[in-house]
Amino acid sequence: MFYAGSRSLEKLDGYSGDIKRLLEENNVRAGDVIRVVTLDREYVGTLIPRYEYASQDFLTLKLLNGYNIGIKFDRILSIALVEKHSPPSFKPTPPKFRSENLPHAVIVSTGGTIASRVDYRTGGVRPALTASDLLSVVPELAEIAKVDAEVLFSIYSENMTQSHWTTLSKKLHDYISRGYEGVVVTHGTDTMGYTAAALSFALKNTPIPIILVGSQRSSDRPSSDASSNLISAMHTSIKAPFSGVYVLMHGWVSDERMAIHLGTKVRKLHTSRRDAFKSVNTKPAAFYENGEIHVLLDNLPKRRPPSSFEIFPNFDERVALIKFYPNMSPEIFTYLHERGYRGFIIEGFGLGHVNSTLTPVLKKLVKDGVFIFMTSQCIFGRVRLTVYDTGRDLLEAGVIPLEDMLPETAFVKLSWCLGNFEEAKVLDIMKANIANEYSPRTVLDEGEWFGS
């Protein structure tokens, strides 16, 4: 097992009061194997530091079978040191010799499960594995490219913000401008779709494919998909005939096939399955299977010279993505407007509907210069505001339908528009199909639905 780091193992991290005193009296430190005798039985296991918000009345052990248990202090009769352990550490193996004939690629790590290990304190995972560590534990990468690595962030993806998107887009623009032939970004899966959309808009005319990749299982678990995903992502970034921004994850729960999704048309549709990511309202751009890339979409931009490569890296944080629900108060919108918000993406019901009491408020906000766009909670299909009276009233109020654009992609695009362009251009840019965020038409596809 890999641990989150050695610092917390050098002291009785998280323990206080009577339990801390008992441990100190017996010369026990976190990481030591101890025997604990209680009122009714005896336990042997590794002492685990306490999580900072956990109750202080318990001692935590990781038993030999791998389970964590908590033992209440008033049930403990005695403890004894069984075996003293030095703090566990991760020792990377030396990287393989790099052939000078291989293309030059870079892995930029932002954190997430693919760059995580089991948290010693909680049994969960935390960002801890560096980009260089990834190279050492996936030696196959050295056979694909001369790989450099950089840890840009080490955070859970739910902590990513617009400022992180700006920093990441600038970093990738720099690497590609310096001649790197492959770029892979490791990222937590929860918000990987948002970041993929952000890069799709921020980086114009990318000469090579930029591949975002994550993992549903941490790198030190036997069932981890980190290695197979990372190898496939590197192959794709080096060999794919297309350019642009893509997300690569499992195409099925087993390792045979990886799906390569457009960065603006991908959504995480399952909490834990390896194949949690699906392309919405379109096919995957391609599949990676048995070392080969099978392209499915015919409108993908080709690899191109870097001469036309541009960057528009700014994002305005004063944008809200609001999911409409029954009896929603219009005050939510006025509250945000009063605090300086410049635009709203609404997730409406069905074809793009909200209740009629909201329409007058939205109309006033549009007159005040607020940008308001409509998407659908249905995920699949497209917005149509011309079918029912409520939709036509929204159109008359100035609400703009966004066809089949994903709500998350719409949120990112509006933030990007307001961050880079003058307001007079925002509506035209939002309506334009810049990075395949719109599908020209919706067709019935038997494999479109999740799990089919």
Say how far apart CA 39 and CA 78 lie, in whole Å.
Answer: 10
In a domain, 135, yes or no: yes
Give the residue, 172 or 153, on which the prediction is more confident: 172
For residue 6, pLDDT over 60 is answered with no
- Mean pLDDT rounded to a whole number for the chain: 87
For residue 9, pLDDT over 80 is answered with no
In a domain, 451, yes or no: no
Domain boundary among 22, 48, 83: 83
Whole-number pLDDT of residue 221: 57
Which pLDDT band, with edges at 50, 70 and 90, does 374 fall under?
very high
CATH number of the domain at 56, please: 2.30.30.520
* pLDDT digit string, tens, across residues 247-290: 999 998 777 899 999 999 999 999 988 899 999 999 999 999 98
Whole-number pLDDT of residue 19: 87
Q: Are 206 and 245 in contact (CB under 8 A)?
A: yes
In a domain, 336, yes or no: yes
Whole-number pLDDT of residue 440: 82
**Domain check: are 307 and 330 in the same one?**
no
Measured over the CA atoms of residue 39, residue 44, residue 49 and residue 53, the dihedral's sign is negative
Alpha carbon dihedral 152, 156, 158, 162, in 10-degree steps, equals -10
CATH number of the domain at 416, please: 3.40.50.40
**Domain check: are 292 and 335 in the same one?**
no
**Domain check: are 160 and 285 in the same one?**
yes
In the chain, % of residues over pLDDT 70: 83
Domain boundary among 256, 280, 311: 311
**Domain check: are 183 and 68 in the same one?**
no
Whole-number pLDDT of residue 199: 99
Say how far apart CA 374 and CA 354 lie, in whole Å.
Answer: 10
Whole-number pLDDT of residue 10: 38
For residue 126, pLDDT over 60 is answered with no
Please tell me the total count of domains within the chain. 3
In a domain, 203, yes or no: yes
**Domain check: are 125 and 209 in the same one?**
yes
The set of catalytic residues is 113, 189-190, 268
- Reading the block at residue 369, the tokens are 């210069």
In a domain, 91, yes or no: no
**Domain check: are 333 and 394 in the same one?**
yes
Measured over the CA atoms of residue 229, residue 234, residue 240 and residue 245, the dihedral's sign is positive
Q: In 3D, which of 194, 218, 212, 201 has the Cα closest to residue 259?
A: 212
Whole-number pLDDT of residue 373: 99
- Reading the block at residue 39, the tokens are 């009122």
**Domain check: are 127 and 206 in the same one?**
yes
> Structural domain of residue 386, as residue ranges?
319-431
* pLDDT digit string, tens, across residues 161-189: 999 999 999 999 999 999 999 999 999 99
CA 121 → CA 22, 224, 235, 422, distances in Å? 19, 20, 36, 49
CATH number of the domain at 214, please: 3.40.50.1170
In a domain, 438, yes or no: no
**Domain check: are 268 and 188 in the same one?**
yes
Say how far apart CA 226 and CA 74 lie, in whole Å.
Answer: 43
Whole-number pLDDT of residue 387: 97
Window from 1-5, 83-87, 158-162, 359-363 with minimum mean pLDDT: 1-5
* pLDDT digit string, tens, across residues 190-229: 999 999 999 999 999 999 999 999 887 655 555 567 788 9
Whole-number pLDDT of residue 442: 72
**Domain check: are 293 and 416 in the same one?**
no
In a domain, 437, yes or no: no
**Domain check: are 192 and 147 in the same one?**
yes
* pLDDT digit string, tens, across residues 296-314: 999 999 999 999 999 999 9
Instruction: Kindly report the pTM of this predicted structure.
Output: 0.80
In a domain, 440, yes or no: no
Whole-number pLDDT of residue 3: 28
Q: Are 304 and 209 in contact (CB under 8 A)?
A: no
**Domain check: are 112 and 253 in the same one?**
yes
Classify 230 as helix, strand or coil: helix
**Domain check: are 225 and 370 in the same one?**
no
Give the residue, 10 or 160, on which the prediction is more confident: 160
* pLDDT digit string, tens, across residues 67-96: 889 999 999 999 999 998 765 455 555 555
Whole-number pLDDT of residue 15: 84
